[in-house]
């Protein structure tokens, strides 16, 4: 950052200089796309909207509620903040195009931390060809990051309420890794490194959302709060029941290792863990399920979510309150 010294804080540097540093970091991470007519630096962004359905989602990350600086670098917080929003657009069958970011932080926050955050946001967005086009900065007692993402669906968006009895349920992306990483970090450990890194920086299957939409998915959701919990949202919205076949899951060795070390059932990480931002969708026929998706269950008449035909006591997943 031009003119900045190592160790400077937001209060040392001042609001407008920090905004300039954030804008510079974003531009260095990715040159604006051709549909960004006016990017960060004016009163509002100006964007070219093409044909299709515009989809918008917002999410908020609060320090010590959604992340801890002792566990996660600023760069990874930025990647994670972008990922959870980009995954929401993918879950509608769309592709993200633009993000705006609101940041509230204490005055003693290092400028370098904020610049790394901006770089992480921009580089995660770049994975789907999206741009960070604006935002806001203010002071607060703790770090809060509010991201709004906009995108487009080439076809009708896939909602939660379209599942019907007889549909096949399928999963795209890794599931349970972030929960295992959180369990490890919560006990003061840093290994297995693979699950710790999965918690710090999720890897949503962005392309799988539009792929499922083109294949005729009847319902879809981003698994942010837990597989059973989020499937519960689909079941409720669609007025159906969903039964999961636990035998189809091949539990990876790192999840086995964490379960053994902590005395936990590794299958629980998969069924109730969130924040991997995998996608789960329903399809009318098994033949409609795209390659790379794992068929994990069926939609049936009734209500609620079961595993192997039985309710599971720890189906709750993450809740904010």
Annotated binding site: 43, 57-59, 66, 88, 135-136, 160, 222, 224-225, 275, 318
304-307/241-244 β-pairing: parallel
The binding site for ATP comprises 135-136, 160, 224
Instruction: Judge whether 97 and 152 are in contact, CB under 8 Å.
Output: yes
* Cα(80)–Cα(59) distance, integer angstroms: 11
The binding site for Mg(2+) comprises 43, 57-59, 88, 136, 222, 225
Residue whose token pair is 């600023």 = 74
Q: Give me the helix-helix angle, 177-186 and 253-262, nearest 10°.
A: 30
The binding site for substrate comprises 66, 275, 318
Of the chain, the end-to-end C-alpha distance in Å amounts to 39
With CA atoms as reference, report the closest residue to 175 among 136, 208, 134, 150: 208
With CA atoms as reference, report the closest residue to 307 among 227, 217, 251: 227
């Amino acid at each position: 950052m031009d003119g900045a010294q190592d160790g400077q804080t937001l209060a040392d540097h001042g609001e407008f200089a920090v905004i300039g540093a954030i804008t510079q970091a974003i531009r260095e991470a990715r040159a604006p796309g051709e549909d960004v007519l006016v990017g960060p630096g004016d009163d509002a962004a100006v964007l070219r909207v093409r044909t299709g359905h515009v989809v918008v989602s917002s999410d908020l990350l609060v320090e010590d509620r959604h992340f801890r600086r002792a566990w996660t670098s600023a760069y990874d917080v930025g990647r994670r903040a972008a990922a959870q929003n980009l995954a929401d657009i993918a879950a509608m069958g769309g592709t993200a195009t633009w993000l705006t970011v609101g940041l509230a932080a204490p005055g003693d926050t290092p400028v370098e931390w904020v610049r790394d955050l901006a770089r992480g946001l921009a580089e995660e967005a770049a994975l789907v060809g999206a741009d960070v086009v604006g935002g806001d900065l203010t002071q607060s007692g703790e770090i809060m990051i509010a991201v709004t993402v906009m995108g487009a669906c080439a076809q009708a968006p896939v909602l939660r309420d379209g599942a019907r009895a007889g549909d096949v349920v399928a999963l795209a992306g890794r599931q349970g890794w972030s929960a295992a990483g959180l369990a490890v970090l919560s006990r003061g450990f840093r290994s297995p490194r693979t699950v710790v890194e999965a918690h710090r920086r999720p890897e949503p299957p962005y392309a799988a959302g539009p792929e499922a939409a083109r294949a005729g998915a009847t319902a879809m959701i981003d698994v942010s709060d837990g597989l059973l919990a989020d499937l519960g949202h689909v079941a409720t919205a669609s007025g159906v029941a969903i039964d999961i076949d636990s035998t189809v899951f091949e539990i990876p060795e790192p999840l086995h290792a964490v379960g053994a070390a902590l005395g936990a059932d590794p299958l629980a990480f998969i069924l109730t863990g969130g924040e991997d931002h995998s996608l789960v969708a329903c399809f009318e026929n098994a033949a409609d399920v795209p390659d790379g998706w794992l068929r994990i269950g069926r939609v049936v008449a009734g209500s609620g979510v079961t595993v192997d035909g039985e309710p599971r006591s720890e189906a709750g997943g993450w809740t904010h309150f």
